Amino acid sequence: MGERKGTNKYYPPDFDPAKHGSLNGYHKTHALRERARKLSQGILIIRFEMPYNIWCEGCKNHIGMGVRYNAEKKKVGNYYTTPIYRFRMKCHLCVNYIEMQTDPATCDYLIVTGANRKEERWDMEENEQILTTERAEKEKLETDAMFKLDHGGKDKEKLKKALPSLSEIQDHQSGWKDDFQLNSTLRTKFRTQKKVIAKDNAVRMRTNLSIPLLPEKEEDKKLAALLTYQAPDSYEDKKHSKRKEICSRSWFNSTTASPGSAAGSLIQKLALQGREARVAKALSSSPAQLIQKGFSIKTKPRATVTRRKSDPEVNTCVDEVAQTECEQPDAVVRPTRADQEAAETNDRVKTTEEVNGGLMNAEDSEKEKDRSRGPITSLVADYSDSDPGQ
């Protein structure tokens, strides 16, 4: 560095090497510039690094080991021929000054003022560490043969006591000699664990779980292989059964009410009343409308058929009577179209009123039945006006 800096320097015309010695002597400056501003007092400014952890007494803050400061260095004494230096520096967190000095006797630094040391030292003898040989002991070992022999015997006894531990440590270290094999085994284990973790993460993402999954076991795999999650019917079977159901059901709308329910009994009652009304309309027609092909219908007194509410087969009986009591086969009951339309309209009105507005009371329903039933007469052909010889 000195040779490089010495090149390309400007030397004035009045520069005399014998008189000035160097350019610093010519300019009357020190080579260290600002660092040597207190050199007349024996103080040199250096870059000091904190040797251990301390607490500042001014701000009570912790200052870690390795923090650097601009410190004033000066010589304060000697330990034998080794000089003792003191360092004075300002805390970077407050205005407090910290002073430390070297301790050649213990190869350490001592805090003079301004800080407290964080005690992290230990006794080497208590920790069963190898103690450093002191200078006086070292000189005695070199000069006194009997002391050396005695010291060697003590060392051999210590070796016998520590031999089992040393052999165990050596056996443990011998297992780590093949670095390539150990590295390969470790990387293989890492890859396997990485695949398992990736598989678990995929399952957790698919099932939207936030809990960690346990590792797989052989018993779980065997149990999972025995389980089958499959529908009892295949897609083709379901499609075939659905088509069969569609083909077999009725094309017309059917009542969904069960026969035993209130809605089912209501619908059945309305149907019976409609059929009874149609039969009564047909039976109440005039005899002139029922005469066809020169024959007349004669009414005969018959027993009156009384319908009970719990007898649903009365209508069938009335129909059979209406169809079989004509003595002349050509005399047929044919109600007019106006009567049919009136009966159908009456049935629809009744159905709508009872479903939407509720059931009618008992007296109104009985009156409606009597009004719609009319007189029941028997249909018998009357041949009294015809010729007796016929």
Please state the three-class secondary structure of 4-48 as a single string. Answer: HHHCCCCCCCCCCHHHHCCHHHHHCCCCCHHHHCCHHHCCEEEEE
Greater pLDDT, 173 or 105:
105
pLDDT band at 118 (very low <50, low <70, confident <90, very high): very high
* Cα→Cα distances 325→128, 148, 150, 277, 322, Å: 134, 154, 153, 20, 6
Question: So what's the pLDDT on residue 123?
Answer: 76
Q: Is the pLDDT of residue 388 over 60?
A: no
Question: So what's the pLDDT on residue 264?
Answer: 60
Sign, CA torsion 94/99/105/107: positive
Question: So what's the pLDDT on residue 192?
Answer: 92
What integer best gives the mean pLDDT of the chain?
75
How confident is the model over 2-42, as pLDDT tens digits? 556 556 678 889 888 888 888 888 888 888 888 888 888 98
Residues contacting 354, CB < 8 A, separation 6+: 266, 270, 360
pLDDT band at 151 (very low <50, low <70, confident <90, very high): confident
Question: So what's the pLDDT on residue 176?
Answer: 74
Greater pLDDT, 131 or 361:
131
Greater pLDDT, 147 or 6:
147
pLDDT above 70: percentage of residues in the chain:
65
DSSP character string of 154-219: HHHHHHHHHHHHHHHHHHHHHTT--HHHHHHHHHHHHHHHHHHHHHHHHHHHHHT--SPPPPP-HH
Strand order in the sheet with 97-103: 44-49, 68-79, 82-90, 97-103, 108-113
In the three-class reduction of DSSP (H, G, I as helix; E, B as strand; rest coil), residue 58 is classed as: coil
pLDDT band at 302 (very low <50, low <70, confident <90, very high): very low
pTM assigned to the model:
0.35
Q: Is the pLDDT of residue 75 over 80?
A: yes
* Cα→Cα distances 194→121, 187, 205, 210, Å: 43, 10, 16, 19
How confident is the model over 336-381, as pLDDT tens digits? 666 666 667 666 655 555 544 544 444 555 555 555 555 444 444 4
pLDDT band at 81 (very low <50, low <70, confident <90, very high): very high
Task: Flag the least confident range among 62-66, 170-174, 253-257.
Answer: 253-257
Distance CA 234, CA 127 (A): 78
Q: Is the pLDDT of residue 212 over 70?
A: yes
How confident is the model over 229-272, as pLDDT tens digits? 766 778 888 888 888 888 888 777 655 545 555 556 667 777 77
* Cα→Cα distances 9→5, 6, 20, 24, 34, Å: 8, 6, 15, 12, 21
Greater pLDDT, 172 or 109:
109
Question: So what's the pLDDT on residue 51?
Answer: 94
Greater pLDDT, 175 or 208:
208
